[in-house]
Amino acid sequence: MTLQKVNTRNFVLALIIIALVAIRLLTFKYQVWSNFTPVGAIAIFGGVYFQDKWKAYVVILLSFFVSDVIINHAYTSQWSLWSSDTFWNCVCFSIIIFVGSQIKKLNFISAAVILLAPVAIHWLIMDLPWINSASSLYPKSLVGYWDALVAAIPFEKNMLEGDAIFGAILFGGFEFAKTKYAALRTTTNLAV
């Protein structure tokens, strides 16, 4: 594989990710769509398709970080580089990227993982009552954790639907683009 081919593929992957991260900004204006974003699909997509896995972490986490700063400013009218959820969001999405990096080929089982893993990871981690920003709403116990999980179902449902739609667009679109443009193809399996 030539350097030009690698650079083109990485550039296209980064451009796709950055463009879709911008969709997160719409949830401020249309809060009914809260969590209906491509974040889970983006994280697992990057893990699957970046050959140099460190690039997936850099592009995705940096894109999410910048969008978090903008979103937090929209809600608070203050510029802040760090919110109470920033670290745990990074943990969640790093795990999702890692899961994506383990996918060797696209089939029914990997499609189920691609669809379900991001929302499950996000839901189980971000709703821990002793780490999330809504920790004052729930007791810091297993009962509080259960209550937080139940209360988060509408948001996680939106994330699941967003991941399904955006995941189909991302994975289907990139696989189709690979058939048309040789610079997007690799000579190895998906995850190396």
The boundaries of the domain holding residue 91 are: 3-184
Distance separating alpha carbons of residues 125 and 52, to the nearest angstrom = 26
Is 11 among the domain residues?
A: yes
Task: Convert the pLDDT of each residue in 63-90 to its tens digit.
Answer: 988 888 888 888 778 887 877 778 888 8
Is 130 among the domain residues?
A: yes
Is 55 among the domain residues?
A: yes
| Structural domain total, the chain | 1
Is 164 among the domain residues?
A: yes
Task: Convert the pLDDT of each residue in 148-170 to its tens digit.
Answer: 889 888 888 888 998 999 999 99
Is 189 among the domain residues?
A: no
Is 191 among the domain residues?
A: no
Is 190 among the domain residues?
A: no
Is 101 among the domain residues?
A: yes
